[in-house]
A and B are shown apart, each in its own frame.
Chain A
Amino acid sequence: MIGLKGSIHSCAQGWLPLTAPLGKGRISAVSLSYLVENQDDPVIWRGPKKTAMIKQFLSDVCWGELDYLLIDTPPGTSDEHMTIMECIPGCSVVLVTSPQAVAAADVLRQVTFCKKTNAKVLGIIETMSGFVCPNCSDCGLLFGQGGGRRLAEHCNINFLGSIPIDPNLSRALDKGELLQNLSSSPSAQSYCDIAKLLTKT
């Protein structure tokens, strides 16, 4: 999605992440996709193997100095999530939901996970929050409305913001052109605002 493709190389100190300039700074990334030869091969790993890999990503990568490390996780509250909380006690967490009650219900359980693992919950982001018809500008609530804000209020957590559906963003993610397209999409401003909020927490 972020347009960084390639293989990971190692140095004396460990693995080198893939890196690219971004604005005035840089973005570095590690991913299992940088370690597999064929991107269509399934990664059929049980929990312990996933745990070992995550630990390597956290301890064996030469990140250099970073202002922020963002860790994307799969849905759920299982091996991956437990491993991260064990490796990074008190890790900051941002929760993502769609407006739907069904999605928010799952995230409610993740809020409990965060409490039990002493995570620092920075807030909730709601994505897929409506779609503006390019023809008539009618705003379609494709996935309902307000689920993220209601969840935040119920759990007494910051509501960081909502992101509208943006087909141009989806297109950019598919092509790995996210970094070049940040400024032009309607959802970009929402992400910008949320990022600014997060830098203040």
Chain B
Amino acid sequence: SSGINAEYGGCPNKQACSTGKFKTDTSPSDVAIALSKVKHKILVLSGKGGVGKSTVTAQIARNLAARDYSVGVVDVDVCGPSLARILGVNGQSVHKSSDGWSPVYTLDDIAVMSIDFLLGSEEDAVIWRGAKKNGMIKEFLTSVDWGELDYLVMDTPPGTSDEHLAIVSLLKQSKVSGCVLVTTPQEVSLGDVRKEVNFCRKLKLPIVGVVENMAWYDCPKCQTKSEIFPATTGGAAAMCHGEGLDLLCSVPLSPKVGQSCDSGVEGEGLPLEYGVLVDKITRYCEG
């Protein structure tokens, strides 16, 4: 009933699990070894759901790949694993070898790991409490044969709970290179992002900056610019100014982005702001 494909005999770690191997709560050194050939690890966070975090994660990955970086993506949102669909690889299978699980590769050579590849059907629900989710996240970080990567980008669910604590704990030795926080211009989103900022500061996570998504809409017919989610308190710019953070970019709401996410195909005419975002991320990480 966990939703894991029975074809795999249930959880791939059933046997190892019964030996008590995973009873240790965290294994930062295991993760550090497993990710030793990954140069930069980026966490994409938001306090609020529905602000486009998975979209931004995918755009970061695609733009990095377009700049000839070797890129991997982990979808840590195990209950709502959208990234596989957004990157056009949903429903595919992973294979396990002595080197671990091999990630699924997109057409633009992005290595992807997601629970989507372990689920039998698109209707399967992952009805797991926190501890079980943490176990899967640890698997993603220790048991995937990522090979050499320039960037590993990690999508997270909204909030500051089990998944986030697990990632931070597991990456203690391996080190998070930077966090990208995603918001929309509304105060109800900014309020939650402030919490996320304080989460990062409390856990000493470096913050690259903030992406303001869905910032405005340009009518394709008359070119009128409309604020879809009005910035009643100055939007991300004011929040970043108040918190001493970098506003990495403000991205317009483009139907082409939604179409790209739904089809899993990159498409043309996507906001150029995502390219600016990636330039800033690489500058932050590489100096």
Binding site for B on A (CB under 8 A): 1, 39-48, 50, 74-79, 81-82, 98, 100-102, 105-106, 108-113, 116-117, 131, 133-136, 138, 140-144, 165, 167, 170-171, 173-175
Contact = CB atoms under 8 A, between A and B. Distances in A.
Contact of A112 (B123, B161, B226, B233): B123
A167 B230 contact: yes
Nearest to B193: A40
A2 to B, nearest CB: 11
Central interface residue in A44, A110, A117, by most chain B CB within 10 Å: A44
Interface stretch (B97-105, B145-153, B171-179, B216-224): B216-224
B165 A44 contact: yes
A90 to B, nearest CB: 17
Contacts of A75: 49-50, 79-80, 157-158
Given A78-B130, A112-B124, A133-B219, A143 B258 contact: yes
B188 A173 contact: yes
Contacts of A39: 191
Q: In this complex, which of B122, B161, B221 has the most chain A Cβ atoms within 10 angstroms of its Cβ?
A: B161
Contacts of B196: 42
Nearest to A39: B191
B234 to A, nearest CB: 11
A144 B259 contact: yes
Contacts of B186: 170, 173-174
Contacts of A40: 191, 194-195, 198
B191 A171 contact: no
Most chain B beta-carbon contacts within 10 A, residue among A102, A140, A143: A102
A111 B158 contact: no
Contacts of B80: 75-76, 106, 109
B255 interface: yes
B228 interface: yes
A142 B130 contact: no
Given A109-B126, A165-B228, A167-B226, A102 B261 contact: yes
Contact of B129 (A78, A102, A110, A134): A78
B15 interface: no
A134 B226 contact: yes
B228 A46 contact: no
Interface residues of B, number: 61
12 contacts: A39-B191, A42-B160, A75-B49, A77-B79, A79-B129, A105-B122, A135-B219, A142-B217, A167-B229, A170-B186, A173-B186, A173-B188
A175 B198 CA distance: 23
Contacts of B161: 44-47, 50
A109 B3 CA distance: 10
Interface in B81-112: 82, 85-86, 90
A74 B85 contact: no
B199 interface: yes
Contact of A108 (B122, B202, B224, B233): B122
A191 to B, nearest CB: 17
A75 B156 CA distance: 12
A48 B125 CA distance: 21
A100 B224 contact: no
Contacts of A144: 255, 258-259, 262
Nearest to A1: B188
Contacts of B1: 116
A76 B49 CA distance: 10
Given A47-B130, A175-B232, A142 B253 contact: yes
A42 B125 contact: no
Instruction: List 10 tightest A-B contacts by C-beta distance, closest first.
Output: A47-B130, A76-B79, A112-B125, A42-B199, A135-B224, A101-B262, A136-B222, A138-B221, A174-B232, A42-B195
